[in-house]
Structure 1
Amino acid sequence: MALPILGLLRYVWSAVKIYVLGFIALLRQIFQKHEVPELHLHTGKIAVVTGGTCGIGFHVSLGLVAKNVHVVMAGHDIQKGKEAITKIREIYPNAKVDYLHLDLASFTSIQNFVENIKARCSKIHILVNNAAIMLAPYKETEDDFESHFQVNYLGHLYLTQSLLGMLRASGTEEFYTRIINVSSIVHNIGSLDLQNFGKRYLSSILKIHEAPSTNKMCTHWLEYSPHAAYANSKLDIVLASWHLSEQLRREASPVTVNAVHPGVVNSSLYKHVHPAIKWLMDLLAKYTYKTPSEGADSILYLALSPSVERETGGYYDNCRKLKTCQLAYSDSVIEQMYILSTDMIQARVN
């Protein structure tokens, strides 16, 4: 009996932490002036935006197009891609905007996307890793990883590593190539346990898969917290962003890497929130959350503003650089996490 109770307590505690931190972030957002960055035209630049067809990602794509950037929107829904292009061209008839299929839950899809983008573009100046899922029920990807881990973090890491050659070659002394990784304030309650970093995400969680069919869903629920999975994936993003930025800085590569919290934004990400609390969140969203357009502003700031030229390894919120819980981890621990992540990728794609 003790084990189910402990599992239930862990589940509830993870949920409480994420909602309390989210409410604190919302209060700060309400009393804080929203910063709208002043941006100039960037004709000739090419950007890739994952999840660029809807929500915050769509408004990032729209904002980039408004500054004469050629945008390639990446997403897993072809119909949404067509609709997004139509909407953008209704506003900017001469917009340079394309859509390419990308499913971050599949390394094969990522490989195909990279091949397609390399065939279409000779350079990439801006990479916005924006796509995400939040609080989704337990699901494994075709590569046998927990879905938050791969879609939010590992898939983006593989995409970035696969495009790194192009990104390096596209940077100049006047405009460093920019990689923007969309994280969240909830990374502060994420946890990193290197001993269990791999196995906690893989499909070989024996207690789930060896459970009798009649008890499988119960055991599954007690072993898995979507709240913890989401927060952990956002922590992984921040730590990997810092490590890659340091690696590129040592190499003197003209590439910057920064993470960003877009704010508490009214978007479809909240669709998996439990109905018992979703009604309250929907009410708050109507009056207090940022719009997706406002949520895009900090991302656009990092993508285009001259104020952050050559600034790298930072975490931003409302167009301002803030401290993160990255400081709680040693450089060696973060490096080990990054190496383990790369090893996981290579084990699947080789």
Structure 2
Amino acid sequence: MKDTYEIAVVPGDGIGPEVADAAVRVLRGAFGNDCPLRFCDHPAGAELYRQTGESFPQATFRACAQADAVLHGAAGIPGVVHPDGTEAGLDFTLRLRFELDLYANIRPIRLYPGIRSPLADVKAGEIDYIILRENSEGLYAARGAGAQLRGEMAVDTLVQTRKGVERIVRKAFELARASNGAPADGVRRVTCVDKANVLRSYAFFRSIFDEVAADYPDIEAEHGLIDAMAMYLVTRPGHYNVIVTENMFGDILSDLAAATIGGMGLAPSAEVGERQGLFQAAHGSAPDIAGKGIANPYGTVLSAASMLEWLAANHDDDRLARAASRIREAVSAAIEAGLISRDLGGDSGSALITQGLCERLR
């Protein structure tokens, strides 16, 4: 337990500064006058690149690496790219993932009371699972290392290591063990998603999954192919408890899953390693609505709650765990009471939602 936790806040681009500010206000509201968090803003992103030619200053990287946790708004502006064509701003999250070894990308998928799922007859409480995405290997590890020959051929390599797969799978079983199980039957289960029937790299992932599963006889283990999972998350979402998969597959599935609970605005994300953690909503920077006061802050607020939970576990600090629980309760109560942003079908603006959350916390 520490007296004060240093939180590096990187507002980023588009609506990033708005949702990051909302999350900081809610965090302060959860603690009142006795807040153990110290916030410090740092620049990074596409707008910074447009202004200075640098999207991720070394000083910001050092601050993030030294902080107890990093809270990020959003990154990227369409058309603002590096000379190689990759988006400026996205290098912020990618560099932190790989250089700080943030190997576990934890994406909770939960349907809240007051939100109507686009899936027919699915009600609140019937979708509640985690997609655990391996965050440091897979196909995305090839970024910047692939090859393009004469404009005629391009190659990227998918990387799987025994260490990388084993630790993400073990993390999945630990998350399942700490959970209440799948909504449909209460069974604690881990589903390995791959393409093992075609590609050796995924067969390797599956074989290590099976080895680790033997250490958790109390948790049900099962396999699913990525193409079938794209269907099953729509047709039987209540069956799932924890899903573990490779980097790119996890990226795709988590967006699909977010659609089933109302959209990306309710999709938090925690990217954690052994000592550092990055917390941000799964949505993009939405520059078309920036500054209009209609950005949805719930995803970033829920990510901030995940940040508190992670810090609480790492530092044995029950104050942070209680605050995280209260923030989640406030979000659920606010949504059920009708404080719903436009992207979710409501008409509440960012300020009204943030104020409502702070009042409930108070």
Asked whether the two chains share a fold, i.e. TM above 0.5, the reply is no
More strand by share: 2
Instruction: Give the TM interval when normalised to the shorter protein.
Output: 0.3 to 0.5
Scaled by the length of structure 2, what TM-score is found?
0.32
Scaled by the length of structure 1, what TM-score is found?
0.33
